Amino acid sequence: NNPTPVTFIGLGPMGQAMVRVLLTGGHPVTVWNRTASRADGVVAAGAKRADSAADAVAENELVILSLTDYQAMYDILGPLGDVLKGRVVVNLSSDTPSRTREAAEWLAERGAELIAGGVMVPAEMVGQEGSYVFYSGPEAVFERFRDTLALIGRTDHLGADHALAQLFYQAQLDIFLTSLSAYLHANALLEAHGVPAERFWPYAESNFNTIAPIIGEAPGHIDSGEHPGDEANAKMMGATADHIVQASYEAGIDTGLPRAVKDQYDRAIAAGDGAKSWTSLFEQLRRRR
């Protein structure tokens, strides 16, 4: 079996890294990027440069996109017309779940299939151990290109609903971004008392490492709607959240994130869940306020 030829559009840091692993895997790769100079490096590494997006798409059945968002896909593919017919577009750009569903319909109207993807690692980890990508879209279509896509990272195909890949991607980044902000906020509090980040880091690191086993019991609570409060209950955790707000205020630093957290505990306690597990906050979060 000859390696599948690939058209690759979007050569930011992610796209460039992906083109390189595809080339290393022996795939012929045709590239196009709005800013042509960004293709120079991968062309020197063996990729073929297309003169236009239309030429690039016309070249191969498999068209992979790595763009800032889904609007960029419309900007690039919108003017192409018939050339899209029969293509499988694997869009590895980030956006919301609903925008990926809309894009699947938009491509279907033009005779093309969408496989949506959410890449879970930064550029330097593309193609490396630990790299993985969430995919969603029709399974039979996905399976035809799985081996090619596997060069980028482990392929986790989540189901036929196109929204799933971005849903899982957003859920992972929800955890990730909030955790990073919490870490930075903790350091603002420390700095206000003259404690450098380097001194605190070993403790923060061990904190991150103990969070996963603590959260391990939460999925059962969330899925069952039962929040038995045998250990860390909402009332106790809420008092701690209040102390963090006060300490932040006294230190003259930003209080937005700890106030948001305290507010969640306040609502759980007001709803009568104070003696239940901290996971009872979930019942407040599952509704828009």
| Residue 91 binds ligand NDP (CB under 6 A) | no
Q: Which is nearer to ligand NDP, 137 or 238 (CB)?
A: 137
Among 4, 7, 30, 33, binds ligand NDP (CB under 6 A): 33
| Residue 38 binds ligand NDP (CB under 6 A) | yes
**How big is the site for ligand NDP, counted in residues (CB under 6 A)?**
21
| Residue 122 binds ligand NDP (CB under 6 A) | yes
Q: For residues 51-80, which are near ligand NDP according to CB under 6 A?
A: 66-68, 72, 75-76
| Residue 39 binds ligand NDP (CB under 6 A) | no
| Residue 35 binds ligand NDP (CB under 6 A) | yes
Q: Which residue is nearest to ligand NDP (CB)?
A: 12
| Residue 10 binds ligand NDP (CB under 6 A) | yes
| Residue 93 binds ligand NDP (CB under 6 A) | yes
Give the dihedral sign, CA 215/216/220/223: positive
Applying CB under 6 A, the residues found at the interface with ligand NDP are 10-15, 33-35, 38, 66-68, 72, 75-76, 93-94, 119, 122-123
